[in-house]
Amino acid sequence: MNILLIGSGGREHALALKLTASPLCDKLFALPGNPGIGEIAENIEGISITDGEAILKLAKEKEIGLVVVGPELPLTEGVADVLTAGGVKVFGPSKAAAELEGSKVFAKKIMSRYNIPTAHCEVFNDAARARVYVRQMGAPIVVKADGLAAGKGVVVAQTVDEALDAITSMLEDKTFGEAGARVVMEEFLEGEEASVLAFTDGETIKAMIPSQDHKCIYDGDKGPNTGGMGTYAPAPVVTPEVMERVQKEVLDPMIAGMKKEGKPYKGCLYAGLMITKNGPKVIEFNCRFGDPETQVVLPLLDSDLVEVMLACVDGKLAETEVKWSSDAAVCVVMAAKGYPGSYDKGDAITGLDEAKAIGCNVCEAGTAMKDGVKVTNGGRVLGVVGRAADIKSATAKAYEGVGKISFKDAYYRHDIAHRALERLEK
């Protein structure tokens, strides 16, 4: 069948690699795609990724059998609803179900209703009241913009002043526009973070291999948060016992709850977790594959991704086996100097073929073509993925790949997977 992939980042490149590996995929189209995706798919430009009617028309013209939606915005805008109503199969939740990511307030209400473990919170749209609350509660405390803020609408404030600055930024300065019209003030959870993505058809939910993201820009988890500087899978903090609790206390009740709410959830559900001394607690839900978690999780999927996605769409996940490799994968993000602040674009990239030649996946996140040369075109430029029998070997492979690639002032963390490696040493 012909498949249409929506999106243009590193996550979508990782999806493209796995989709085109399926014998069920005759041809892959990408909207809009990127130069890396364009090497294995036909990129289509000129259509907005949130224009459901235009995407439906394109799907009919190209005889698309399955649409895979990468980013959250088309899902929260209802693209899946338009495609489904038009008779096109789509992997991704409805607009109503995608509100789990579109509104943190909505997600908190659902978690409360179905007893899903999460941090205590209060919601404010008035800056003065929010400031009073912060002064009463003290720090550390977490300040979150209610809506979509491209992964940047969360401030983990270590001091009261930091929290007050975040309130001013979101509610008064409108840094995130309408996404910050309400803020969620959340209890600070202590523990180790992990991400558990899962396939679901609205009835059955099957977890993928747990992974761990590295949000901070600098080594040692220092500096401001980014969209993710690297990931690894599996994450040993999610032991078999913890995973059993995640399934029973988080994934199963959420899918059952959404069905009961009349908003059945189909697609990929992403649970961002804090593994505390009292067990797993939900930090956030996302309505799509994570970035850069997808870059390490999908290479470890032994089953046919297209087959699994179709089972989710058709309500047949319970009877579909989802098999995983016992290997490990590590992704190191190569970023432009200055990210997550301002950065230059247009610098030539070399060594991509050399990194691929040693067995690395190189997922392009922020690249462009200029006069026949691949150049930087974003803050996070590349995700270099190493796969091996264990975390230590996969880490070495990823950094070997990074060493083959260069562009002006390339920046990357040198300690990706450090928590896993420390656990292994103990």
CATH number of residue 235's parent domain: 3.30.470.20
Rounded Cα distance, 334 and 120, in Å: 36
Percent of the chain having pLDDT more than 70?
100
Rounded Cα distance, 342 and 336, in Å: 9
Q: 120-137 pLDDT, tens per residue?
A: 989 999 999 999 999 999
pLDDT computed for residue 151 by the predictor: 66
Chain centroid, CA 140 distance in Å: 25
- Answer yes or no: do 260 and 338 share one domain: no
pLDDT computed for residue 215 by the predictor: 92
In a domain, 64, yes or no: yes
pLDDT computed for residue 133 by the predictor: 94
Chain centroid, CA 172 distance in Å: 29
Segments forming the whole domain that contains residue 157: 126-181
3-state SS, residue 34: coil
Rounded Cα distance, 71 and 151, in Å: 11
Q: What is the mean pLDDT of residues 50-68?
A: 98
Which carries the bigger pLDDT value, residue 97 or residue 182?
97
What is the residue-averaged pLDDT of the chain?
96
Is a pLDDT exceeding 70 seen at residue 296?
A: yes
In a domain, 100, yes or no: no
35 prior amide bond cis, ω within 30: no
Is a pLDDT exceeding 80 seen at residue 116?
A: yes
- Answer yes or no: do 369 and 416 share one domain: yes
Instruction: Return the H-helix or E-strand segment holding 70.
Output: none
Q: What is the mean pLDDT of residues 275-295?
A: 96
Q: Looking at 86-222, list the stretches that DSSP marks H as alpha helix, in order from N- to C-terminal side.
A: 95-102, 104-113, 127-137, 160-167
Instruction: Return the H-helix or E-strand segment holding 310.
Output: helix 305-314
Q: 206-249 pLDDT, tens per residue?
A: 999 999 999 999 999 999 889 899 999 999 999 999 999 999 99
- Which pTM does this prediction carry? 0.94
In a domain, 297, yes or no: yes
Question: Any bridge partners for residue 216, and if so which?
Answer: 225
Contact 163, 143 (CB under 8 A): yes
pLDDT computed for residue 147 by the predictor: 83
Phi, psi of 158 (to 5 degrees): -85, -15
Is a pLDDT exceeding 90 seen at residue 425?
A: no
Rounded Cα distance, 47 and 66, in Å: 18
CA distances from 202 to 68, 223, 315 (A): 17, 39, 7
* Banded model confidence at residue 163, pLDDT cuts 50, 70, 90: very high
In a domain, 45, yes or no: yes
Q: 403-424 pLDDT, tens per residue?
A: 999 999 999 999 999 999 998 8
Q: What is the CATH number of the domain that holds 367?
A: 3.90.600.10
Percent of the chain having pLDDT more than 90?
92
* Residue ending a domain, choose from 72, 92, 112: 92
Q: What is the CATH number of the domain that holds 139?
A: 3.30.1490.20
Q: What is the CATH number of the domain that holds 15?
A: 3.40.50.20
- 425 burial class (0-12, 13-18, 19+ CB within 10 angstroms)? exposed
Rounded Cα distance, 422 and 426, in Å: 6
292 prior amide bond cis, ω within 30: yes
Radius of gyration of the chain (CA): 21
* Banded model confidence at residue 181, pLDDT cuts 50, 70, 90: confident
Q: Please count the structural domains in the chain.
A: 4
Contact 92, 68 (CB under 8 A): yes
Q: What is the mean pLDDT of residues 6-33?
A: 98
Q: What is the mean pLDDT of residues 250-279?
A: 97
Q: What is the mean pLDDT of residues 310-314?
A: 98
CA distances from 331 to 213, 225, 284 (A): 9, 17, 22
* Residue ending a domain, choose from 297, 319, 341: 319
Q: 339-357 pLDDT, tens per residue?
A: 999 999 999 999 999 999 9
* Banded model confidence at residue 153, pLDDT cuts 50, 70, 90: confident
Is a pLDDT exceeding 70 seen at residue 334?
A: yes
Rounded Cα distance, 270 and 151, in Å: 13
Rounded Cα distance, 196 and 336, in Å: 28
* Banded model confidence at residue 272, pLDDT cuts 50, 70, 90: very high
Q: What is the mean pLDDT of residues 167-192?
A: 90
